[in-house]
Amino acid sequence: MIIDLPSTTTSQVNNKLVELRERGGAVALGRVLTLVIAAEDDEHLEEAVDAANEASREHPSRVIVVAKGSRPAAARIDGQIRVGGDAGASEVIVLRLYGPLAGQGQSAVIPLLLPDAPIVTWWPSAGPKAPATDPLGQIAQRRITDSAAEKSPIRTLTARGRSYVAGDTDLAWARLTRWRAQLVSALDLPPYEKVTGATVTGEADSPSTELLAGWLAEYLKAPVKRVKTSEAQGIVSVSLNRRSGPIELHRPDGRVGRLTQPGQPARRIALQRRDTRDCLIEELRRLDPDEVYEAALHGLEKLASGTGRKRGTTANGGKAGKGEARTTRKAAT
């Protein structure tokens, strides 16, 4: 059910929610958190709400979407409440702010927050370079951005690394979970040798590739070379050098990877690119700071980079490029 409330106030929205709960039996006390979505346009708004609705089946929440209307318009709030089949296991409140109110998202959100419930703010498209200083970020325990959705993913990721505050995270990091799990599992098998160096190959503007290389630099305490390629989207391959021979995980098609290592048969591994819904569900599972993500950001400074069209391009000694995929390819990891 969708209820439109044009030219409304936050008090009227709250009163309508109470009326709906009394009439339909929806229980706000069952919500485990408040998810605030800062949407820049209608396209990203609906995509984000769909992802939040799916995530709500694991994390029942109150979803508050803050959208900016026309700034030259008169000050007003157009509200919308979605419950039932249009909101998954959540209740969705959409606030479109016009005129001088367009920059007052925090003031509009605060009256609608659930008491004693954790707050997560998510920017599904372009977000602030310093999420913790943004008005909507200041009220949240967790702040989720997506550097892959930025016009300049590399520069944005670098800026967020400098401005990192405990509680910050990036969907580009969640897209790495399967790669990290497979690499750690491979290192747990014999022979148990020290990794002397690594090479990570992927698109030049792939922040997930960059974060994977940074994580390896911190985790292995060994030199890591970041190689840029145009042969495929997102992450293409990882090679870990050891005395007995390399561990190689290569995924040229974005779906299936091939893992090879000395003394073990080659294995085919499912490495399908993760969609926004899956990444959001993973990020909502934890509300504490992600120290491993923070370490990966620090590891970016340790990378050596290479450029070229094919794997194995020689390093040029320059500083690593950082980025995952531009807005049109944001799921390419």
Q: What is the pLDDT of residues 191-223, one digit of tens each?
A: 889 999 999 999 999 999 999 999 999 999 999
Angle made by CA atoms 330, 332, 333, in degrees to the nearest 5? 115
Residue 243 falls in which region: left (phi positive, over 0), alpha (psi -120 to 50) or beta:
alpha
pLDDT at 68: 87
The proportion of the chain whose per-residue pLDDT surpasses 70, expressed as a percent, equals 88
For the domain bounded by 2-170, which CATH number is listed? 3.40.50
Residue 159 is encoded by which pair of tokens?
């800026």
Cα 332 to chain centroid, rounded:
13
How far is 177 from 119, CA to CA, in rounded Å?
A: 24
The CATH architecture to which 177-329 belongs is 2-Layer Sandwich (3.30)
Domain ranges of the chain: 2-170, 177-329
pLDDT at 31: 78
Other C-beta atoms closer than 10 Å to the C-beta of 240 total 23
pTM summary value: 0.87
Other C-beta atoms closer than 10 Å to the C-beta of 277 total 15
150 contact partners, CB below 8 Å, separation of at least 6: 126, 127, 156, 326, 327
Strand partners, 269: 257
What's the pLDDT band for 305 if we cut at 50, 70, 90?
low
Q: Specify burial of residue 36 (Cβ count, 10 A radius: 0-12, 13-18, 19+).
A: buried
User: Any idea which of 16-20, 138-142, 279-283, 297-301 has the lowest mean pLDDT?
Assistant: 16-20
How far is 93 from 45, CA to CA, in rounded Å?
A: 12
Taking only the tens place, the pLDDT of each residue in 27-79 is 445 678 999 999 977 778 989 999 999 998 888 899 999 998 888 889 999 99
How far is 93 from 115, CA to CA, in rounded Å?
A: 16
How far is 216 from 229, CA to CA, in rounded Å?
A: 19
How far is 225 from 196, CA to CA, in rounded Å?
A: 12
User: Any idea which of 175-179, 205-209, 303-307 has the lowest mean pLDDT?
Assistant: 303-307
